[in-house]
Structure formats: C-alpha cells, structure tokens
Structure 1
C-alpha cells in the first residue's frame, strides 16, 4: 500500500513577520538603549566607537587593518572592544563587515576585498574578548554587512530619516548596497540581499574581485575612478597633466581624494571623470528604481565626498534611463549625512535589537 501523500505546509508569512517583530521587541527590551560598541571593518582600517541611543559617537578609536588575515583582523577587533569597554558600560557590540554575512548575522561567508571565507566572526571575536577580559562585553554581539549597517545608521539618524522605503548605495573601494523597508533591513532569504555592486551592467567588461566581469562597481566606485584617472595619465594625454602634476608625475600616485580635490579646483579632466562615474551611478540607480521602487536613495562612501560633482551627473543619467520616465514619480537621490561614521553607528544600533 502506497504511503499517504503529505501536503507540505508553508508558514504563514504574516505570522512569521509578527513573530520576528515580537522577538525584536523582546530583544530591545532586554538589551536597552545604553551605549553600544560599533565596529566598521574596511580593507585598510578598523574604525570603532561607542554610540549612545541617539546615534552620537561619544568615543572613537581607529586601527590600521594589519593584513588580510582573518585572525589578525579579529585580534584588532577584540583589542578595540576591550579598549572602549574599559571606559563605558556597554550593552551590546555590532560589527559591520564588508562581505556576505549569513542570515544568523554571525558568519562572513565571503568578502571580495578580504581573505574571509565562511569565517565565524561573531564566535571568534567573542572568544578573543573573553580571553582578554575574562568576561563577555554586553548582552549581544552581532555581525552585519557593512552597507546594511550604514543604511540603518542613515535611516535612523541621517539622510534617510522619515523615509519608509530607503535604498542606500555606498561608494568606496567597491559598491555596497542595502534596503530598509518599513523599519526593517531587508536581508533576503539567505542574508545576502543588497549586493548591488555585483549586478552585471557590462557583460564581458572589466574583471571584478568577485570573479565576474562587468559588475556595476567596476564602473561606479572609487576603484573605477582611480583606474580611469591613472589610465588617462599613463596615456600622457594633455588633459591629464593637471592630475599628473598633483601626483608628482607618477600615475600610480593618483588616488581618489587627489581626483576629488582636483575636481573641486575645476580641473577639467577630474570633473569629466566624475561625470563618467556619476553617469554609471545614475544608470544603476535607475535599475534599482525599476526593481525596488524606493522613495529615497542615499549615496554614501568616500566617493560621495565629491558631492554634486558626482550626484549632479547621477541624477541626470537617472532621469534619462528610468523606465517609464515622465509617467511615474521619481525617487530622491541625496548624499549621506553621517559620513565615515555611518557604518559603526548603524552596527551599534542594530546590535541593540533594532532593524
């Protein structure tokens, strides 16, 4: 006799959402809104600070990232947590990491710019902190994607305040992205949502650290800006002489801040480079608008320091590229307000049980 067929019962998404909200509220009540440590891990630095319940950074430390070794970076994280907790009664610790973070917000699955592959970062940091202090710090340690953390910081305390459907694009070495919808970070089924920088916009284009070709971040990021500036300088183009002069005649000495300073001073080549990067930024945001329909896109990261030199061309390209243009409301593109502190502010606040 055949076994009876069993119908698979799918969970009710509304009930699951309610359970998640209740768990979140319970966690927030247990942890409270006291001072939390936020840590922002970049490819070259580890920035950390104590953040109060209003999003203010009341203490700040910074370390150079020693190597790309996961263990060395974890040692630095434990060191800054120890230093900050010696002076403040910490309720929780939030770590923003540049990479794919699992749904449990404990493990970095993959980091394109660091040598992390399935790295149990939360456990490793907690173990090192206990070894240093003989105790844990705070009631909770959380690992979050750095762009999610920055977006949450802007949503709660920065340029995204009051926006129910927010997208954040962070332009640094690469491009990070995040979505905040009705007070919750949208992490996706496996915790990997928001990796906008690895949308392929030019099939067969520039090679990306992720392994693919033609990713958005290869055309609209700090790396893209510097690559194009150096290429122009190596070609010994007359239009690049101003950049070369600022770099002491060495194309390899051209950096993103150098190009930004030149553009602000009116250097025609630098302005043109930002127009190119801004155009790619606007095209990508138009794609995000078609897929997600947010009300506001906040642009942060080091490249956004150029302000309207970047955002002006981005808005123009966005309007030219937006599907249904002229027949639909347009989102607002604004610059982030929290600057380099956005990631650590957001990570600290999320560790309290928000988002």
Structure 2
C-alpha cells in the first residue's frame, strides 16, 4: 500500500476516546479506544490523549502530518480551546495548545459532530455529493452543512446546531431552555422521556415496553422503545411515528432553506432503526417545496462510529497541506 500522507484522528467524548491513523484516501489503518477518565478531570483525559497518540506513533512507524481532535463541546476556532464540554465538565481548557506541546505535532480541534461531517463529506455518503446537510441523531441531535464546497462554521463557530431548530412552538422543554426543539422531540433522551410519560399515564398500554425494561420505568431507553416497536407494540409505534414526523418537519425546513443535493442521516437512532431513513424521506417530500426535492437524495451515513475519527484526521491533513484531500 502506497501511503503518502497520514494523520491521527481522535473522537473525544464523555464515555470513550477513539484514536485512529487515517491516510489520504480515508482508510483507517490503526484503531485504539480508551474509556474516558472523566472522574480524573481535564488533566487525566489530556494524559490519555497524549498516551494514545504516542502509542499509535510507536506502533505504526508511519510519519504523520498532524492530529485532529473532534470533541463533544464548543470550540474557539482561533485558539482551539474547548470553551464548554458538558459531558466532560470542561470550561475553557487549552486543549489544542497542550496537546501540541506534549506531542510536538500540529493539532487542530473541532466539534465532534463537525468532525463526523468532514468524514462523511470527504469519504462517506457525501462523497461527490455537492451541497449537503449531515444530521446525526443519537442521545442528542447535531449536524453540519456543506455549501459551495465549504463547511459552514457561522459567525461564532456554532453553525450546525440542527437539534435546536424549533419544530413545535408549544412543544416539550429542551435542555437548552427552549421549547419544541427537534432534539426535544426526537433525540434519544427525548424519546425515553416521552416513553416514561406514556407508560406512567397508562401502564396497561405500556406494559410491553415496561416489561422489556425489567419493570422499571426509569430504565426505559430509546433502545427499549425501538425493541418494542419491532415486537409490534402499539405504543412504541405511536411514539416512533411522532419522532419521525418531528424529524421530517425539521429536515423539510433545512431542505427549503439550503436546497441541498443530499441529506445524510446517521447516529445511534438511525443505526438502530435504518428504515427510519425512508420514513423521513417520505415525510420530507410531503412537506418541502417540490422545486427543492426534485434532485434531493436522502440516505444513511456510511462511516458509522468511525466518521469522527476519519473526519478529524482529514481536517488535520487539510490544515497541514492547505487543500482538500
């Protein structure tokens, strides 16, 4: 295999850190995972990052151009400091500067969802796809937008907060403080909340879901609901229909505003229920302007859990060589 350029990509989250060596074709050559040492605070996680980088460098013997890190938080694009990362309990930590010093390599920091967007755009479902929007539906909902061959960052680097689009003016309260956000209706935590409320209100109608959760309402998760849906449960089907409608409404709004060529759907909810892609597609085509959907393709992501690693590494290579790969 002829390897010209490589970089290390890191997907840094509240529960795990995934490291990989990625080449300029988007191939993942080496992979390493740690459980995130969140209880040890920022310094413990920083040490894990440095240790993982050194381990990959030592094992591979491959020359690398830099390190890209996608972190679940808000990032200062000028300094690479992580301004706020709720799952890590970080506030204004100088991640880029400290990793760069410790590893003696160029480092670029971005939001984890934007890193996944880079991966899908360059090497996954969005490759050669023109203008596109990626939406990742897991515990929360995030995304990113490619327009005119560029990833949109926004005035203050927060472009892509798709989960906080309002899709129901009088909808349920979101963690952000707003009501009716797409995430508050269709994120994993919101699906679980909706199931909890429904089972408490009618334990008989919710008996299948409750049984699958071991008889404990508080143990009902989005995964429990999907399992109940596949078992033919009527309440699960009702909730999934509501979730699909909320997602279709939000995606239709994005289609009308941005007129993308492609909508890419990923994340744990989509991976657990792949047919939701076709359900959302039908809902979008009912709601969006026909002129905006004529050439639109709605599809599932291709890179799965590796999108963030591959995208972060791609961004590091782009930064080093000042060009798209």
Instruction: Find the aligned partners of 2:79 and 2:226 in 1 and give their Cα distance.
Output: 35
The residue aligned with 1:25 is: none
**Counterpart residue number, 1:75:** 47
Deviations 1:103-147 (A, max 9, x none): 3361223335442333322113234xx2xxxx52x4x21111112
Kindly indicate whether residue 162 of structure 2 is the aligned counterpart of residue 162 of structure 1. no
- 2:266 pairs with 286, 295, 300, which one? 300
User: Could you tell me which residue of structure 1 aligns to residue 316 of structure 2?
Assistant: 351
Q: When the two structures are aligned, how many residues end up with a matched partner?
A: 315
Q: Secondary structure at the match of 1:219?
A: helix
Give the superposition deviation at 1:299: 0.6
TM-score by length of 1: 0.80
CA positional deviation for 1:260 = 2.7
Greater displacement, 72-81 / 152-161: 72-81
TM-score with structure 2 setting the length: 0.87
Aligned equivalents of 2:258, 2:88: Cα separation in 1: 29
Give a deviation string over 1:277-328, Cα, whole Å, max 9, x none.
Answer: 1111111111111221111110111111134442233223222321x34786
**Other-structure match for 2:178:** 212
**1:184 Cα offset (Å):** 2.4
* Runs of 4+ residues over 6 Å off in structure 1: none
Residue matched to 2:235: 269
- Kindly name which structure, 1 or 2, has the bigger radius of gyration based on alpha carbons: 1
Residue from 304, 308, 331 that aligns with 2:296: 331
SS of structure 1 residue aligned to 2:205? helix
Distance apart, 1:55 and its partner CA? 1.5
Partner SS state of residue 86, structure 1:
helix
Query: 189-198 vs 304-313, which deviates more?
Result: 304-313
Task: State the SS of the aligned residue for 1:83.
Answer: helix
> Which ranges in structure 1 are unaligned for 5 or more consecutive residues?
1-31
* Cα separation, 2, equivalents of 1:113 and 1:277: 24
Contact 1:108–1:117 (Cα < 8 Å) also in 2: yes
The Cα of 1:176 is off from its aligned counterpart by: 0.9
CA contact (8 A) 2:113 2:136 kept: yes
- 1:154 Cα offset (Å): 0.9
Q: Could you tell me how far apart the structure 1 residues matched to 2:108 and 2:225 are?
A: 36
Say which of 154, 159, 175 aligns to 2:141: 175
Q: 1:85 aligns with which of 51, 57, 63?
A: 57
1:308-323 maps to which residues of 2 (within 5 A)? 308-322=274-288
The alpha-carbon deviation at position 164 of structure 1 amounts to: 1.1
Q: Does 2:83 match 1:109?
A: yes
Determine the structure 2 residue equivalent to 1:50: 21
